Structure 1
Amino acid sequence: MPSPAILIENLTKSYGTLKAVNSLNLEVKEGEVFGFLGPNGAGKTTTILSMLNLIIPDSGRVEILGMDVSKEPLKIKERIGYLPENATVYGELTAWKNLEFFANFYRMSNAEKEKRITDLLKMVGLWEVRYRKAKTFSKGMKQRLLIAQTFINDPELLILDEPTSGLDPEGAHLVKRLIREAQSEGRTVFFSSHILSEVEELSDRVGIIVRGNLKAVGTVGEIKRQFMELEGYEIKVETKEPLPAIEHPEITRIELVEPNRAIIFARTDIREELSRALSEKGLTILGLDIEEPSLEDVFLKTVYGRDEE
């Protein structure tokens, strides 16, 4: 069985009395796109910096691509691409020279560097402005250049902290396409984002960290199901005829929308029992569906313990 791309065991890091990360355990599989969610100050950046050996945790360990980050940091850096939040480009250098500067850190021939830089500038839509100084670029163009830089060493693992920050819709679409393509090429992608629809769209699995604690991890569907098991189910029922009085010990509330439509709030999924009871009363069932929460609903409830106001 292959080693996970990222393995975090009992990671803990404090800053004075603030515990930024608290006994965090997390595994990211090879070839998956993993979305890392949390409010500001939740511990996302501390976790990422620990993964990169840029800060030393108080306890715990991290393995990247089967290597201990505290023992083989340089070997790991050769095989990963990292895009920090709020990263900057070298404004006095052209787009080409920015990428050439970082390519020089890796073992590439001049021909390999030239081809790699050419391909990357075309990939992010900056080929036509390759000889312009980066200080003349818009924020979105700078972000595209930084994304190209992340790919310069043909990494097996991409770690992206808010990769669509500052991008217009076209740029954000490009980044999402690049993430999908990276996965199709066999790369692993670990990214954080505040754009929940983006995380839901791209991620195979998601982790939600709150005040240094991992509160939920799994596919979006699994996390939603866990949420409904804790918070209850909203069941939309519609019949051809007017609805009769409905009783069940798991029902906590019923909202009648129209004489033949209602929303039933229940502690468990009672659709099978409802279907049987309504059919026995001779009603024609037109709809009996779970109203699934959005990832935003789950996130807000997990983080703040309440629904959005």
Structure 2
Amino acid sequence: MPTSAILVENLRKSYGNFRAVDGLSFEVLEGEVFGFLGPNGAGKTTTILSMLGIIIPDSGRVEILGRDLLKDPLGIKERIGYLPENATVYGELTAWKNLEFFANFYRLSNAEKEKRITELLKMVGLWEVRYRKAKTFSKGMKQRLLIAQTLINDPELLILDEPTSGLDPEGAILVKNIIREYKREGRTVFFSSHVLSEVEELSDRVGIIVRGRLKAIGPVSEIKKRFMELEGYEIKIETKEPLPELEHDSITRVERLAPNRAIIFARTDVREWLSRHLSSRGVTILSLEMEEPSLEDVFLKAIYRREEE
């Protein structure tokens, strides 16, 4: 049975009268990719910094890789890699020297450092410019260097805040492949991103935070299912013959696109009923499919509910 890589229990943090995190609790399992979502000001960064021991919460508890964060902060940091959203490189240092500087924080021999730096610079496509000063790099090249820096200690747990920010499509693919490789190796990745399609593509589970509180957590498919149960189902249908009137207790609206095509809005999944109903009337169904909401639909709805509340 998987154990916890991250355990957050009843986390609270306020800045004056503003409560950034309000009783937040969640668990990230070892070996999974966990996507962390929320609008600006939702408490994502405060949560991440609390998980890293960079800020001390007002109350609550954080456990990382089975250890209490407050009891063993340095031991934990040796085992994780963290990429902040607005991280910077040392512009006067070369790409090689930037990585060497951070490698010196870990107990690596000179041979291990050289091997690791070489591997990482090749991985992120900066090997040919390893002796160029980082201040001459483009934004995307600097982000690649920061990604290499995050991996310098071969961490068990990756915590990434907007990891594809500033990257071109090739760089974004590189980051996604690194995340997939970490998962294949049984390691854990916790990341936040405003690119919801990336979160949906990569995550085993996601958590949506709004105003410091967890709005939803679970596999994307389950969150979408709960969303549809709450908001209703949207079903597209096309038939060979004209569609008859469709009356069912769950159907709230039928939007006819053509005599034989329609979008059906219902409180429950009525596809089985539609198949029986139309078959009994001699109507041939050409296509019948559920219009599944995107993670973006679910995310935006969570924000709108926040405003309504």
TM-score normalized by the length of structure 2: 0.97
Equivalent residues in 2 for 1:130-279, closer than 5 Å: 130-279=130-279
Partner of 1:52: 52
CA distance in 2 between counterparts of 1:289 and 1:138 reads 45
CA distance in 2 between counterparts of 1:294 and 1:109 reads 48
Q: Give unmatched runs, 5+ long, in structure 1.
A: none
Which amino acid is the alignment partner of residue 64 of structure 1? I
CA distance in 2 between counterparts of 1:87 and 1:23 reads 28
Partner of 1:303: 303
Tell me by how many angstroms 1:219 deviates. Answer: 1.1
Which amino acid is the alignment partner of residue 288 of structure 1? L
Which amino acid is the alignment partner of residue 201 of structure 2? E
CA distance in 2 between counterparts of 1:147 and 1:179 reads 11
CA distance in 2 between counterparts of 1:3 and 1:260 reads 52
Partner of 2:42: 42
| SS of the residue 1:190 aligns to | strand
Over 6 Å off, 4+ runs: none
| SS of the residue 2:91 aligns to | coil
Partner of 1:71: 71
Q: How big is the alpha-carbon RMSD for the aligned residues of Structure 1 and Structure 2?
A: 1.0
| SS of the residue 2:186 aligns to | coil
Equivalent residues in 2 for 1:2-13, closer than 5 Å: 2-13=2-13
Q: Give unmatched runs, 5+ long, in structure 2.
A: none
Which amino acid is the alignment partner of residue 154 of structure 1? D
CA distance in 1 between counterparts of 2:123 and 2:96 reads 13
**Deviations 1:24-76, CA, capped at 9 Å, x for gaps:** 11111111111111111111000000000111111110100000111110000
Partner of 1:81: 81
| SS of the residue 1:148 aligns to | helix
Partner of 1:289: 289
CA distance in 1 between counterparts of 2:137 and 2:262 reads 54
Partner of 1:103: 103
Tell me by how many angstroms 1:230 deviates. Answer: 0.4
**Deviations 1:80-123, CA, capped at 9 Å, x for gaps:** 00000110001111100100001001001100000000001001
| SS of the residue 1:199 aligns to | helix
Which amino acid is the alignment partner of residue 291 of structure 2? E
**Deviations 1:136-163, CA, capped at 9 Å, x for gaps:** 1111100000000000001000000000
Tell me by how many angstroms 1:295 deviates. Answer: 1.0
CA distance in 2 between counterparts of 1:187 and 1:205 reads 15
| SS of the residue 2:4 aligns to | coil
How many residues matched? 306
CA distance in 2 between counterparts of 1:13 and 1:276 reads 55
CA distance in 1 between counterparts of 2:157 and 2:253 reads 48
Tell me by how many angstroms 1:2 deviates. Answer: 4.3
Partner of 2:128: 128
| SS of the residue 1:60 aligns to | strand
Which amino acid is the alignment partner of residue 60 of structure 1? G
| SS of the residue 1:275 aligns to | helix
Tell me by how many angstroms 1:270 deviates. Answer: 1.2
CA distance in 2 between counterparts of 1:127 and 1:288 reads 52
CA distance in 1 between counterparts of 2:183 and 2:123 reads 16
CA distance in 2 between counterparts of 1:28 and 1:22 reads 19
Which amino acid is the alignment partner of residue 230 of structure 2? L
TM-score normalized by the length of structure 1: 0.97
Moved more, 156-165 or 233-242: 233-242
CA distance in 1 between counterparts of 2:17 and 2:226 reads 32
Tell me by how many angstroms 1:305 deviates. Answer: 3.4
Partner of 1:19: 19
Tell me by how many angstroms 1:280 deviates. Answer: 1.0
Would the alpha carbon gap of residues 250 and 2 (structure 1) be closer, same or farther in structure 2, given more than 3 Å must change? closer
CA distance in 1 between counterparts of 2:227 and 2:41 reads 23
Tell me by how many angstroms 1:285 deviates. Answer: 1.3
Moved more, 142-151 or 17-26: 17-26
Moved more, 73-82 or 280-289: 280-289
